[in-house]
Structure 1
Amino acid sequence: MATTAAAVRAPERRRRPRYTVGGVVFTIVTGLVFLAFAVICAYPFYFLLINSVSANDLSAQGDVRWWPIGFHLQNYLEVFKLPGLPAAAMVSVARTVLGTVATVFASAFLGFMFTQQRMWKRQLWYRLIVITMYFNAGIIPIFLIMKTLGLTNNFWVYILPFVVAPFNIILVKTYVESLPASLQEAAEVDGANVFQIFFRIMLPSMTPILATVAIFSAVTQWNSFQDTLIYVTDQSLYTLQFVLYMYISQAASLALAAQQAGGNIGSVASAATSQTATSIQVTVAVLAVAPILFIYPLFQRFFVKGIMLGAVKG
């Protein structure tokens, strides 16, 4: 028995990886390089955060670089008091949620349908959608179309133009083609129609690629402000990003107004917390970025699998 156990353990010992000096050095250097890239990517967000909670007079002078100095949260309390911010936040949340749901569903359905041989003029419709990735009519023609359709000063101008996204449709189509054809064939043998196959068979199998599409769509919807600038003049439809953009461009005048409203600016305590252009800019930037930073990790585990399977066929 002892001989047999030793014989079984011998191959296990031989299969253990042998560490060489070159391999260890390569692993350490690679880890340090990736760590450096991670720090480079994370530091701008960290810089915004520490400056938003540091003494405003020091942050305005550029003295806050590595850790907070004179910690306080007054900047966030003041920024939340800016007029129009809560309503704009609700508009942004609504457009992000509705726009993401609409885009994900349209991308899933069209990506699935473009894999169906029975679809009438399938190749023609697919090429017409893909060609829009390369040709654009321009801002003025698009604005005239939106105005003709009654979408200017309309909440749906944030949703409808983003529903059909060619890149997302290509990802979903390629992903569906990578799934076993036997799934659909078995459902067809059982008498399922196209909609039953899509909702009951294919849609539950698309979770990784749909999570990827959801990330792309949510980030696009949340960060978009140019459509507000072009199509919307009704202040009740302003998005958070557009309002923050205006506040950043008007940071100096807003800081002066906040200081005048605060009173007793000459004291030491108020000098550290009185609003400056820099304090408003960094605080507004943190508020704009924070939601995406919290949401992205929830979908990260689907992201790599979805983007890889949706980008490579076979």
Structure 2
Amino acid sequence: MTALTAPPKRPVRPTRPHNRKPEPERHGGDVMFAIINYTVFALLVVLCAYPFYYLIINSISANDVSALGDVRLWPIDVHLDNYKEVFKLNGLPLAAVVSIARTVIGTVFTVLASAFLGFMFTQKKMWARQFWYRFIIITMYFSAGLIPVFIIMKNLGLTNNFWVYVLPFIVQPFFIILVKTFVESMPESLQEAAELDGANIVQIFFRVYLPNMTPILATVAIFSAVAQWNSFQDTLIYITDQSLYTLQYLLYMFINQASSLAQAAQNAGGDLSGIVSAATSQTPTSIRMTVSVIVVLPIIFIYPLFQRFFVKGIMLGAVKG
């Protein structure tokens, strides 16, 4: 009689631990809060975006309808004649080059100066560090005034000079404070290790700290670029040479002459000195809307490129960790 043998047991595979946390139950109050939260933020998005949308639809709508204020939600009788006429402005290409050059060069110099000074003011070995830091910061609260500043610029030979757009804005106390606070949040071991390897202060700045300052430097670059691009008062005060006019100042003059240009464009029988064509029916409102769109659009397209660094740079540069 043969013995009965039990069938071999299959090896039991170990089950993986279930690490997923159970989702918390959402009560009625939480759902209501989420609905209100999303609704409020959606309204804020609409409130922020609508002014730009309003400018665009009015700049491409029928000028007579836009002048009456009847364009609110969507464009009416879409056309691009306003942009064609603005781009016919005498000196516009050169003014655009000047604006781009001052924005790029001015931003680069401001970022480098802010980074270096912010770094140096964290160095305990720097001679009279606290004095020089306070000496720069105090300029945030006191100004000599327009006339003394103009006299200084004239004596330095910066009137009717491209560098008047760059040099006065290189040292910005607010940016220096942001960078200094950001550097203080970085570990001191970075500098100690570099000093052990024989690096001097310049090498430590360019090779160790500067590559790690990307968030705060992007933040400074945004602030500086926007300020440089939108500035026109320095052209009004220091520049009389038309070859150094910026795009914003040229468009500023165009807006100030909007009423006369629009009337002349309707009555002229030919080309009005290359400024406004007689075939147009521009109004002061259409001119203002079109110029505003031209000035704002470059910043709108550039800002998203730096936006991912913006919040991190502000948070780390504003609070010492």
Contact 2:266 2:280 in 1 (8 A): no
Q: Which has the larger radius of gyration?
A: 2
Corresponding residue for residue 267 of structure 1 = none
Q: Does 1:306 align with 2:285?
A: no
Q: 2:296 and 2:119 mapped to 1: Cα distance?
A: 33
Amino acid aligned to 1:77:
K
Distance of 1:145 and 1:192 partners within structure 2: 39
The answer for the alignment partner of 1:229 in structure 2 is 236
* 1:222-267 residue CA offsets vs partner (Å, 9 max, x unmatched): 011111111111111111111111111111111123223477xxxx
Confirm or deny: 8 A CA contact 1:51 1:64 kept in the other structure: yes
| Long gaps (5+) in structure 1 | 264-269
The Cα of 1:3 is off from its aligned counterpart by: 11
8 Å CA contact retained: 2:265, 2:280: no
Q: Greater helix percent: which structure? A: 1
1:175 corresponds to which of 182, 185, 194: 182
SS in 2 for 1:132: helix
Q: Which residue of 203, 207, 217 corresponds with 1:200?
A: 207
CA–CA distance in structure 2, aligned partners of residues 83 and 62 of structure 1: 30
Q: Per-residue CA shift, 1:93-112, capped at 9, x if unaligned? A: 11000000000000001111
CA–CA separation in structure 2 for the residues paired with 1:20 and 1:155: 63
Per-residue deviation at 1:41?
Answer: 1.2
* Aligned pairs (5 A) from 1:107-186: 107-186=114-193
> Which residue does 1:212 correspond to in 2?
219
Mapped contact 1:56–1:273 kept (Cα < 8 A): no
Q: From 245, 257, 260, give the equivalent of 1:250.
A: 257
Paired with 1:2 and 1:249, the residues of 2 have a C-alpha distance of 85
Equivalent residue pairs, number: 305
Q: CA deviation at 1:273?
A: 5.8
Q: Aligned partner of 1:239: which letter?
A: T
2: CA distance, partners of 1:97 / 1:161: 15
Give the TM-score taking structure 2 as reference length.
0.91
Mapped partners of 1:293, 1:137: distance in 2: 34
Instruction: Write out per-residue CA displacement over residues 116-142 of structure 1, whole angstroms, 9 at most, x where no aligned residue.
Output: 111111111111000000111111111
Taking only aligned residues, the RMSD between alpha carbons, in angstroms, comes to 2.0
2:102 is the alignment partner of 1:59: no
Residue pair 2:178, 2:317 contacting (<8 A) in 1 also: yes
Which of 17, 20, 24 is residue 12 of structure 1 equivalent to? Answer: 20
Equivalents in 2 of 1:233, 1:104: separation in Å? 29
For 1:259, the equivalent position in structure 2 comes to 266
- Tell me the TM-score normalised to structure 1 length: 0.93
| Paired residue secondary structure (2:140) | coil
- Which stretch has the larger CA shift, 230-239 or 215-224? 230-239
Contact 2:119–2:183 (Cα < 8 Å) also in 1: yes
Q: % of aligned pairs identical?
A: 71
Which of residues 89, 96, 104 is equivalent to 1:82?
89
